[in-house]
Amino acid sequence: MGDFLTIQDIEKAAQQVQKRSKLKPQVGLILGSGLGSLAESVENPDYIPYAEVPGWPVSGVQGHVGRLVLGELESQPVVVMQGRSHYYEGYDMPRLGLPVRVMRHLGIEILIVTNAAGAVNPDFEPGDLMLLVDHLNLLGMAGQNPLRGPNLDSLGPRFPDMSQVYDRKLQSTARLAAEEEKINLREGVYCCLAGPSFETPADLRFLRNVGVDAVGMSTVPEAIVARHGGIRVLGISGISNKANLDGTTETSHEEVLEAGRVLVPKLTKLIRGVLRKLS
Ligand code: HPA
């Protein structure tokens, strides 16, 4: 048996958050590796460290602050996850879904999920932003789906549709915001692998052959849980390193964090632009 979530787990965690913040968020934001400083733009913030929320998967990874920030961004009430946890840290998939379940309980209708990703598409460069138009759920195909276990019928269906994980209207909004902010927004398919080891050149050539544009170690479980709960999802990757399809370059976490410094200002502009269009 696995570590499956119950409604009581979700309510207990949500109540703890509600004790610490009166805010009723409309939009949830998950900030990936090296991208957390966007949370510093939140106005009138309430801070809640993950460790203080019962059952919350806590991340020890460098580049992930590990707290919830509730406040306003572009006049929208938002709940921001400054850092996230990953499968490679040892959590079961359903546990990784708790944060999204809690954010839904708090009232979000839209989730903006970001990540740092490696380029698989050879046209992509470090520092590029990529709009997720779809994902390849390789881990899910292999049995690691966050919805595995008893279905929480009051939250969503046993067999949720995934024909449009990344909401088409929100994609259009992001394209429009990128145009206005003069950001070259790439588009593509994201694939989540378990990590923590980076891909071999053979892994990358395989992913390229099956239509993947960017690869990372997150986002897909969160997006699935969000869709299960009827939340509209916008996904954005920050490309932090180049596709190493021929094995001539190395990949490091330092490189990923360094790219974050270039990506954060762009990502901040894009997300602010999207939020303005939502109000
Ligand atoms: N592979 C997997 N995950 C990543 C990468 C990568 O190259 N870069 C940032 N996250």
- Cα distances (Å, whole numbers) of residue 222 to 100, 234, 235: 6, 11, 10
Give residue 65's pLDDT.
77
**Of these residues, 41, 86, 130, 135, which one is catalytic?**
86
Q: So what's the pLDDT on residue 226? A: 98
To 10 degrees, the CA torsion angle through 175, 177, 181, 182?
A: 10
Domains along the chain?
Answer: 7-278 (3.40.50.1580)
d(CA 216, CA 32): 10
* pLDDT reported for residue 255: 80
Residue nearest atom 2 in ligand 1 by C-alpha distance: 216
> What is the pTM for the complete model shown?
0.95
Q: What is the pLDDT of residue 1?
A: 46
254: Cβ contacts below 8 Å, ≥ 6 apart: none
Q: Is 41 known to be catalytic?
A: no
Per-residue pLDDT of the chain (279 residues; tens, 9 = 90+): 457 999 999 999 999 999 999 999 999 999 987 777 889 989 999 999 999 999 999 877 666 679 999 999 999 999 999 989 999 999 999 999 999 999 999 999 999 999 999 999 999 999 999 999 999 999 999 999 999 999 999 999 999 999 999 999 999 999 999 999 999 999 999 999 999 999 999 999 999 999 999 999 999 999 999 999 999 999 999 999 987 888 888 888 888 788 888 899 999 999 999 999 998
pLDDT at 61: 67
Q: Residues near 80 by Cβ (< 8 Å), separated by ≥ 6?
A: 28, 29, 30, 31, 38, 39, 42, 68, 69, 70, 71, 73
Determine whether 47 is an active site residue.
Answer: no
Which pLDDT belongs to residue 64?
A: 62
How far is C-alpha 39 from the geometric centre of its chain's CA atoms?
14
Euclidean distance between CA atoms 29 and 103, whole angstroms? 9
Given this model, what pLDDT does residue 147 score? 96
Closest atom of ligand 1 to 251 CA is: 7
Among 235, 228, 234, CA closest to 214: 235
| Candidate list 21, 39, 64, 228, residue with the active-site label | 64
C-alpha–C-alpha distance, residues 66 and 215, integer Å: 23
Residue 170: what pLDDT? 98
Cα 118 to middle of ligand 1, angstroms: 4
- pLDDT at position 206 is 96
The DSSP line for 199-215 is: PPHHHHHHHHHTT-SEE
Task: Give 116 Cα–ligand 1 centroid separation in angstroms.
Answer: 7
